Amino acid sequence: MSDPLLQLISAGLGLWIRSRCDHVGDLDLTLQGSSLGLMRGRLQGAVLTARDVRFQGLPLQHAEISSGPIQVDLTWLRPGQMLALKGPCQVSGMVAMPGQPLGDALLSERWRDLGDWLAEQLMGLSPLGALRIDSDLLELQVPVAAHQDPARRRFRLNAEQGTLCFRPETADEPRTLLPMDPAIRIEQVQLASGQLALKGQASVTP
C-alpha cells in the first residue's frame, strides 16, 4: 500500500485497535484501495495480522484476518471512530490460542460462565477447574469433593454446523455443539502444539 492517505488511516486504525485490546505484541493493518475510492465510500478490503494479543481476556497467540469489499459512510465519522461501515462486511481468518492461557481465561471472572457451562455440558460437573491441550485432544478437569484428584475427560474437536463440536475421546458417546453467534461460522478446527487454531468467517454489520 503506497497511498499516503490510506497509510495514515491504517496507522490510526492500528492505534485504535490496540486501544481496544488488553495487550498487543505485534500488529500490522493494511487497507486495500485508493484515496479516491475511500472518498467515494469504498475500500477493496483490509488485512490484519497480529501476534501475542489479549482481547477481552482471551489470549490470541496469532491472528490473520482479511475482509472483502468495505462500504464506508463518511457522513458518520466521529472523533475516536476512524471509519463507519455503511453496509455489512464479510471477514475471514484464523486465530490460534495457546492452551494454558486459554484455560486461565476460562477461569477468570469474564469467561467463568462459559468455562462452567463447558464443564456442566461435557462432564455433568462444575465448576471448571482446568483446561489443557494434549496433542490433538482437549482435556477438562473438574474438582470433586472429598477426592484429591480432579475428574478428567478428554475430547476431540472439529467444526460442524458452523461451530465447535466436542466429541468424547471414546467415539461412541454423543457429541456437543457450542452455541455460536449466527454471524460467525467456524469452518476448521485444529488442536496441535498446545494450541487451539480456528478458521472461519463472520459478517460484520454497522
Read off the pLDDT of residues 116-174 as tens digits, 9 standing for 90 and up.
999 999 999 999 999 999 999 999 999 998 888 999 999 999 999 999 999 999 867 78
| β-strand partners of 189 | 198
Measure Cα distances from 91 to 9, 88, 151, 184 in Å.
19, 10, 39, 9
Please give the grid coordinates belonging to residue 61: 497467540
pLDDT interval class at 107 (50, 70, 90): very high
Q: For residues 15 and 33, give the distance between their C-alpha atoms in angstroms, rounded to a whole number.
A: 20
Contact 89, 70 (CB under 8 A): yes
Report the percent of the chain where pLDDT is more than 90. 69
0.85 exceeded by pTM: yes
Q: For residues 33 and 69, give the distance between their C-alpha atoms in angstroms, rounded to a whole number.
A: 9
pLDDT of 149 reads 92
Q: Is residue 1 predicted with pLDDT exceeding 60?
A: no
Read off the pLDDT of residues 39-74 as tens digits, 9 standing for 90 and up.
888 889 999 999 999 999 999 999 999 999 988 876
pLDDT of 123 reads 93
Please give the torsion angle defined by the CA atoms of residues 109, 111, 115 and 117, in that order, rounded to the nearest 10 degrees.
100
pLDDT of 11 reads 86
Q: Is residue 76 predicted with pLDDT exceeding 60?
A: no
Question: In the chain, what are the helix, strand and coil shares in percent, each to the nearest 5?
Answer: 20, 45, 30
Q: Tell me the backbone φ, ψ of residue 103, rounded to 5 degrees.
A: -60, -40
Listed in sequence order, the residues at least 6 apart from 172 whose beta carbon sits closer than 8 Å to its beta carbon are none
Which residue do the cell numbers 484455560 mark? 103
